[in-house]
Amino acid sequence: MINKVMNHLISVCSVIALTLSLASCSPQPEYVELNGLTQGTTYHIVVEKTPGLDIKALRQDIEQLFTQVDNSLSIYNDSSLISDINANRSDRTDTLFREVFRVAAEVSSESGGLFDITVGPLVKAWGFGPDAMKRFDPSMLDSLLALVGMSKIRLEGDRIIKADPGMFIDMNAIAQGYTVDLAVDLIVSRGIKECLVEVGGEVRTAGDKNGMGWKVGIDAPSDGNFTPGADIQ
């Protein structure tokens, strides 16, 4: 009886040892990082290095996507579609603009107007953006507020109608998150199941990084701080 038990234990231990040995010999996935600039900010992408992956072609596809979004929605690009609209050089929109505009209008409605892509004049007055004012004049506040409000802009077909030519549309608060969604969808469509995409602080992941989970650091919100305030996984 004892011999049978011992033989059984030896068999079980052998199986466990073999399993651990095979697991330790299994190749760990490799990851490739892509970094660059887009929409007046930076991007950081990590993708799993899958068999046959053409990383150069993937980078080109991603940067082409970023360029398309930049040419449509970036206020840091003087020749972008949104810059033409803000400067009253055109009232024509494209598919990207209309899609993001509709999402922005929906979020604005659901937030009771707290989210508003027409706050551009106020953003500039407080010293942000490509045409930021160097010093805020409080006496200008009422006139600037008159240029703000989602009810003062609307889409008519492929045209954007502004109630006042001085209105300035700023989609940065939503465009970068939209860009991240498009980038992840593109990467996954290439058969890559594991990736992390970050554009201007907007983050989305796919997969779980070989079971370990993606770890993302969050900086404490203070000027000049480079120490992560927290990690989430």
SS (H, E, C) the chain: CHHHHHHHHHHHHHHHHHHHHHHHHCCCCCEEEEEEEECCEEEEEEEECCCCCCHHHHHHHHHHHHHHHHHHHCCCCCCCHHHHHHCCCCCECCHHHHHHHHHHHHHHHHCCCCCCCCCHHHHHHCCCCCCCCCCCCHHHHHHHHCCCCHHHEEEECCEEEECCCCCCCCCHHHHHHHHHHHHHHHHHHCCCCCEEEEECCEEEEECCCCCCCCCEEEECCCCCCCCEEEEEC
Q: Identify the CATH number of the domain defined by range 31-209.
A: 3.10.520.10
Token pair in block for residue 220: 């404490």
φ, ψ of residue 219 to 5 degrees: the values are -75, 145
pLDDT at 226: 56
Q: Is pTM, for the whole model, over 0.85?
A: no
Highest mean pLDDT among 11-25, 71-85, 124-138: 71-85
Cβ atoms 195, 45 nearer than 8 A? yes
**Tens-place pLDDT, residues 159-188:** 999 999 999 999 988 998 999 999 999 999
Distance of CA 61 to the CA centre of its chain: 16
> Phi then psi for 50, rounded to 5 degrees?
-85, 160
Average pLDDT, the chain: 83
pLDDT tens track for 38-73: 877 889 999 998 888 899 999 999 999 999 999 999
Give per-residue burial for 27-57: e unless 16+ CB within 10 Å, then b. Answer: eeeeebebeeebbebebebbbbeeeebeeee
What does the alpha-carbon distance between residue 184 and residue 24 come to, in Å, rounded to a whole number?
A: 31
> Is it the case that residue 35 has pLDDT exceeding 80?
yes
